[in-house]
């Protein structure tokens, strides 16, 4: 079980279960302050309709339970949502993110949110990557943790083998690579089913992980910046793939 804080996270964990649409709620229990009850009454009522216990607590108790400096007054208890690697591969996804040794929970949550926005069908937290249920990662994902399959606790090597077996090419984001993102776009490679591999925030991808990829790819730097951080690089790469896979790369200007 893990905690999801704030109205956005609670709303996404609730899904469509609270509006009569027959969805499945992932909220097993809700803690709410009186002030949040007054502000988000409809959301609290929707949780209550699923049968999940709702506990009204004081602000002092919420401050002890919550992980944020200024809690928003809503705290849901949810079950883990990760799936086996084999399940993700069997679904034949076309766009997947693989995080290898990504340690910063804020970055990881932002990458997860970006992957969701770009239409990716899964995110893998491989090797020594941060726990996807880390409170900061959950908050940074802004509810996207509940939207797409998550795989955790696997090796990058096993992930590469499983996704390649499912028909995906593996591209490693590496700032020193000779091959650029624009080069792949021109060759039509980005329209293919792709798994993007992103490494540690400080040292990137070591040689053994780069060797797992079909190609190492650099995001072009046109200005004077030394590099992009992992979240920004992931946004550029994922949207380049999404645009190509949705036919954008083939359209004339």
Question: Tens digit of pLDDT for each residue in 183-223?
Answer: 998 999 999 999 999 999 888 899 999 999 999 999 999 99
Q: What fold, for 85-250?
A: Alpha/beta knot (3.40.1280)
Phi-psi region of 223 (alpha: psi -120 to 50; beta: other; left: phi over 0): beta
List, for residues 20-41, the tens digit of each pLDDT value: 555 689 999 999 999 999 999 9
| Parallel/antiparallel/unpaired status of strands 29-33 and 54-57 | parallel
The domains of the chain are located at 2-78, 85-250
List, for residues 106-152, the tens digit of each pLDDT value: 999 999 999 999 999 999 999 999 999 999 999 999 999 999 999 99
Q: What is the pLDDT of residue 24?
A: 83
CB 90 within 8 A of CB 189: no
Q: What is the pLDDT of residue 214?
A: 96
Residue 85 φ/ψ, nearest 5 degrees? -55, -40
For the residues 65-94, what does the mean pLDDT come to?
Answer: 94
Q: Which residues pair with 129 in a beta bridge?
A: none
Burial environment of residue 97 by CB neighbours within 10 A (0 to 12, 13 to 18, 19 or more) = buried
CATH of domain 2-78: 3.30.1330.30
Q: What global pTM score does this model have?
A: 0.91
- 103/174 Cα distance (integer angstroms): 17
For the residues 177-181, what does the mean pLDDT come to?
Answer: 94
Neighbours of 179 (CB within 10 A): 15
């Amino acid at each position: 079980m893990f905690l999801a804080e704030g109205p956005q996270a609670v709303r996404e964990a609730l899904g469509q279960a609270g509006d009569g649409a027959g969805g499945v709620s992932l909220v097993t229990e809700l803690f709410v302050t009186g002030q949040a009850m007054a502000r988000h009454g409809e959301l609290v009522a929707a949780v209550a309709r699923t049968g999940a216990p709702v506990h009204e607590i004081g602000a002092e108790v919420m401050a002890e339970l919550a992980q944020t400096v200024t809690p928003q007054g809503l705290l849901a208890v949810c079950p883990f949502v990760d799936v086996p690697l084999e399940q993700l591969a069997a679904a034949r996804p076309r766009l997947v993110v693989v995080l290898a040794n990504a340690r910063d929970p804020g970055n990881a949550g932002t990458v997860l949110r970006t992957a969701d926005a770009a239409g990716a069908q899964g995110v893998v937290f491989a090797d020594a990557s941060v726990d996807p249920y880390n409170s900061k990662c959950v908050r940074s994902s802004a509810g996207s943790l509940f939207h797409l399959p998550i795989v955790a606790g696997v090796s990058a090597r096993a992930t590469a083998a499983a996704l390649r077996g499912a028909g995906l090419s593996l591209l490693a984001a590496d700032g020193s690579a000779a091959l650029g993102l624009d080069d792949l776009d021109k060759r039509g490679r980005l329209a293919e089913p792709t798994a993007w591999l992103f490494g540690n925030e400080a040292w990137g991808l070591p040689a053994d992980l780069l060797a797992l990829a079909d190609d190492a790819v650099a995001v072009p730097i046109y200005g004077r910046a030394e590099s992009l951080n992992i979240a920004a690089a992931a946004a550029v790469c994922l949207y380049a793939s999404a645009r190509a896979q949705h036919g954008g790369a083939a359209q004339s200007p």
